[in-house]
Amino acid sequence: MSNEEDKLDEVVEALEQEGVSATDSVESQGIGDKVSKVFSLFGITPDTVQKWLGIDECGCKKRQKFLNGVLSSNKENKE
């Protein structure tokens, strides 16, 4: 196993110890929700992005909504 794989395994183990699992049942409407969920597992939220960049609004929610519209999980079920 490479050093990078070891680090990723450590992250997964730490998340599992915090009660986060791959089977958490969070309703996702599309790819935007899925990306947001994965980012937030690593502590990357709109608030943290705004703090890192020193801005009031990052546009994260707008991008999330756009991605949901473009690649919605529900579209596949309706067709």
pLDDT for position 54: 93
Mean pLDDT estimate for the chain: 77
The 10s digit of each residue's pLDDT in 57-78 is 888 889 888 888 876 655 554 4
Percentage with pLDDT > 70 across the chain = 68
pTM of full prediction above 0.85:
no
pLDDT for position 13: 78
Would you state the torsion angle of the CA atoms of residues 45, 50, 51, 55, taken in this order, to the nearest 10 degrees?
180
CA angle (3, 18, 28) in 5-degree steps: 95
Which of 13-17, 24-28, 31-35 has the highest mean predicted lDDT (pLDDT)? 31-35
Where do the domains of the chain lie?
3-78
Q: 60-70 and 46-53 are packed helices; what angle lies between their axes, rounded to 10 degrees?
A: 130
- The token pair at 66 is 């756009």
- The token pair at 24 is 């958490």
